[in-house]
Chain A
């Protein structure tokens, strides 16, 4: 691809449009982000904002020194890891075990339906299903499994983020099912499997030694990106989370809009730490990808 550049016919007009294109590219991608992170950095250092009193590292110390901040980061990573891990594993198992299931009609049509559910609706659904007064709890009562809703387990707004993880799991599962089904049929995998068979592998070996590693490697970048989405998600933890274990977006907005105005610089400090993390992960990911 890189060798193509010098072959492009370079008229003046094309040059101009390339510059305009690059300008627009920058203006609509990196510019707002840099602007925002820059502002957040200034704010976090006491150099911006109405209540600021000049440079201070106090907010950074407050954030980095607080246990709850690190707990928030760890909890965000935990939620993303568990929900994506489960979704990827299950999707992989289903696709490798029954590769043709998701190509068959009418499932090949309906499997797309869950993609029509936005995060806020998924959060609402999970709440109505899993909370103590929700549909599953009612079903358990009707079936005589529990004597009342207080016996139903704490799945929503709980300490372990079960509600949040469930919601993200159901958002991610259909996505990865479709992804792996497409990869399985389109990316020469069948040929590879065939080769494995001719070399004497049985079905299970072909699946585990050939299909799974290939799918994993090819979807690795997508999985990491999805991980970042889940980590930064807002609506789902907002509605299904607990106040003592918050995810990073929820904590940021809460610090921004709570009673204590002195917390606002902390909101921006958290934003900067989050940004650094995202930038580092993306650079690493795309760097790694180039080498593959």
Chain B
């Protein structure tokens, strides 16, 4: 019976090409089309400040300025991919999702599935302020965005520690091993994006430092260096939180345990997060962010439109608003989110440049200038997918 149903669905179904004519619309026409519509955005919703930014600022502003109703569904990269893939498989003509918060491996998988609409970013009027020449913005996990996703924020990973408990935080692999051996149970990394970024940083270091793994995925290199990484993690494992038998499901629980004092370290993909968490009163004022001497990964996160979104015009308008100087300025405020802007200061009008300059300084995180020369490029997405897989096989099981 299921087989019959399937056959029926397959025969009925190559996706009706609803490419419509969004591609040929001028911005003015797109605005006319998108006004008064509903846009469905799927995004990771694991941070209260980010959620507050979206709920309390973005949604009301979109409603007021464009009469757009932004609906936000919770789902991180893998959920987005699985959903869009299931839709494609079912031959659905219209996607449930219009806009998705993606980067790196999700972008790669969605491009492989041909699930993204594009190119579209050059249409956005505010796109002219974006710093596409910056390789940390224009290139996503070694893949050029090519107009299929729009940069939204730029961040660098940092380690966060409690300066009252840790006087001299470890600056590299060996130092970390020594540290956890002396203080077991105080360090861990999460089982998701941030933890995987941490693993990539270790892998780059093992492979010989900055740039050693740039370029497309290299199976041979991976097969040489990954076993060394797992050997190192196995050395760490008995001294990690819960003896490394389980890892926090995301940064939020890790932050919570850091706040409680159960952990002495946490980490963040956002260099400025420590400031917003201290301002919120979640982290103690003794919390500090730092970057290892061997460097950490800097990357950008993006917005993509699904290929069969029924409301591409609306999605573009939302996106254009999100990269507007106003929304980006608000987002960079450590008290709001503290997410680095993707706009190029030299392209902005003077008044906005002034405003960005006048943003309150970070107090607990190092300044961007200080850590910029310790920034590592993201690796090709296959590294992350393989690491995620092998981490389960080699370490958790």
A touches B (Cβ under 8 A): yes
Chain B contacts for A150, CB-based, 8 A: 185, 262
The residue in chain B whose Cβ has the minimal distance to the Cβ of A39 is: B2
Q: Interface size of A by Cβ–Cβ distance < 8 Å?
A: 32
Chain B contacts for A232, CB-based, 8 A: none
**Bound form: Cα–Cα A99–B58 in Å:** 59
- Let me know if B5 and A35 touch, CB within 8 A: yes
Is there a chain B Cβ closer than 8 Å to A219's Cβ? no
**Bound form: Cα–Cα A257–B261 in Å:** 32
User: B109 is contacted by which of A38, A159, A261 (Cβ under 8 Å)?
Assistant: A261
Is there a chain A Cβ closer than 8 Å to B260's Cβ? yes
CB distance from B196 to the nearest CB of A (A): 8
Is there a chain A Cβ closer than 8 Å to B257's Cβ? yes
Known interface pairs A39-B2, A42-B3; A258-B397 also in contact (CB < 8 Å)? no
Chain B contacts for A168, CB-based, 8 A: none
A-contacting residues, B248-265, CB 8 Å: 249, 256-257, 260-262
Is there a chain B Cβ closer than 8 Å to A103's Cβ? no
Is there a chain A Cβ closer than 8 Å to B396's Cβ? yes
Is there a chain A Cβ closer than 8 Å to B245's Cβ? yes
CB distance from A141 to the nearest CB of B (A): 11
The residue in chain A whose Cβ has the minimal distance to the Cβ of B193 is: A259
**Bound form: Cα–Cα A48–B4 in Å:** 12
Is there a chain A Cβ closer than 8 Å to B164's Cβ? no
Chain B contacts for A132, CB-based, 8 A: 257, 260, 262
- Let me know if A133 and B262 touch, CB within 8 A: yes
- Let me know if B2 and A35 touch, CB within 8 A: yes
The residue in chain A whose Cβ has the minimal distance to the Cβ of B247 is: A243
Known interface pairs A50-B88, A259-B388; A38-B242 also in contact (CB < 8 Å)? no
**Bound form: Cα–Cα A95–B283 in Å:** 48
Is there a chain B Cβ closer than 8 Å to A242's Cβ? yes
- Let me know if B246 and A244 touch, CB within 8 A: yes
User: B82 is contacted by which of A35, A39, A244, A264 (Cβ under 8 Å)?
Assistant: A264
Chain A contacts for B2, CB-based, 8 A: 34-39, 41-42
Is there a chain B Cβ closer than 8 Å to A256's Cβ? yes
**Bound form: Cα–Cα A261–B109 in Å:** 9
Is there a chain B Cβ closer than 8 Å to A154's Cβ? yes
Known interface pairs A154-B242, A159-B245, A259-B388; A48-B6 also in contact (CB < 8 Å)? yes
- Let me know if B78 and A258 touch, CB within 8 A: yes
**Bound form: Cα–Cα A157–B257 in Å:** 13
A-contacting residues, B343-397, CB 8 Å: 384-385, 388-389, 392, 396-397
Chain B contacts for A242, CB-based, 8 A: 242, 245-246
Chain B contacts for A39, CB-based, 8 A: 2, 5-6
- Let me know if B397 and A68 touch, CB within 8 A: yes
Is there a chain A Cβ closer than 8 Å to B85's Cβ? yes
- Let me know if A260 and B388 touch, CB within 8 A: yes
- Let me know if B246 and A259 touch, CB within 8 A: no
The residue in chain B whose Cβ has the minimal distance to the Cβ of A133 is: B260
Q: Interface size of B by Cβ–Cβ distance < 8 Å?
A: 35
The residue in chain B whose Cβ has the minimal distance to the Cβ of A37 is: B2
Chain A contacts for B242, CB-based, 8 A: 154, 157-158, 242
Digitize A218-241: 1 where CB-to-B-CB distance is under 8 Å, 0 elsewhere.
000000000000000000000000
The residue in chain A whose Cβ has the minimal distance to the Cβ of B244 is: A244
Chain B contacts for A158, CB-based, 8 A: 242, 245-246
Chain A contacts for B5, CB-based, 8 A: 35, 38-39
The residue in chain A whose Cβ has the minimal distance to the Cβ of B88 is: A50
Is there a chain B Cβ closer than 8 Å to A49's Cβ? yes
Is there a chain B Cβ closer than 8 Å to A282's Cβ? no
- Let me know if B397 and A244 touch, CB within 8 A: yes
The residue in chain A whose Cβ has the minimal distance to the Cβ of B112 is: A261
Is there a chain B Cβ closer than 8 Å to A12's Cβ? no
- Let me know if A259 and B385 touch, CB within 8 A: yes
Is there a chain A Cβ closer than 8 Å to B113's Cβ? yes
- Let me know if A257 and B78 touch, CB within 8 A: yes
A-contacting residues, B280-295, CB 8 Å: none
Is there a chain A Cβ closer than 8 Å to B72's Cβ? no
The residue in chain B whose Cβ has the minimal distance to the Cβ of A36 is: B2
- Let me know if B262 and A149 touch, CB within 8 A: yes
**Bound form: Cα–Cα A42–B81 in Å:** 21
**Bound form: Cα–Cα A41–B6 in Å:** 12
Digitize B70-113: 1 where CB-to-A-CB distance is under 8 Å, 0 elsewhere.
00000001110110010011000000000000000100010001
- Let me know if B246 and A50 touch, CB within 8 A: no
**Bound form: Cα–Cα A258–B262 in Å:** 28
Chain B contacts for A243, CB-based, 8 A: 191, 246-247, 249, 392, 396
Is there a chain B Cβ closer than 8 Å to A67's Cβ? yes
- Let me know if A38 and B191 touch, CB within 8 A: no
CB distance from A127 to the nearest CB of B (A): 9
**Bound form: Cα–Cα A37–B384 in Å:** 32
- Let me know if A157 and B389 touch, CB within 8 A: no
What are 5 pairs between A and B in contact, CB < 8 Å? A42-B6, A50-B88, A132-B257, A133-B256, A158-B242
| Smallest CB-CB A-B distances: 8 pairs | A38-B2, A133-B260, A242-B246, A259-B388, A50-B89, A257-B82, A243-B246, A244-B396
Chain A residues with a Cβ under 8 A of chain B: 34-39, 41-42, 48-50, 67-68, 132-133, 148-150, 154, 157-159, 242-244, 256-261, 264
Beyond A37-B2, A149-B262, A257-B78, list 20 extra A-B contacts (CB 8 Å): A35-B5, A38-B3, A42-B2, A42-B3, A42-B6, A50-B89, A149-B260, A150-B262, A158-B245, A243-B191, A243-B247, A243-B249, A244-B396, A257-B79, A257-B82, A259-B77, A259-B105, A259-B384, A260-B388, A260-B389
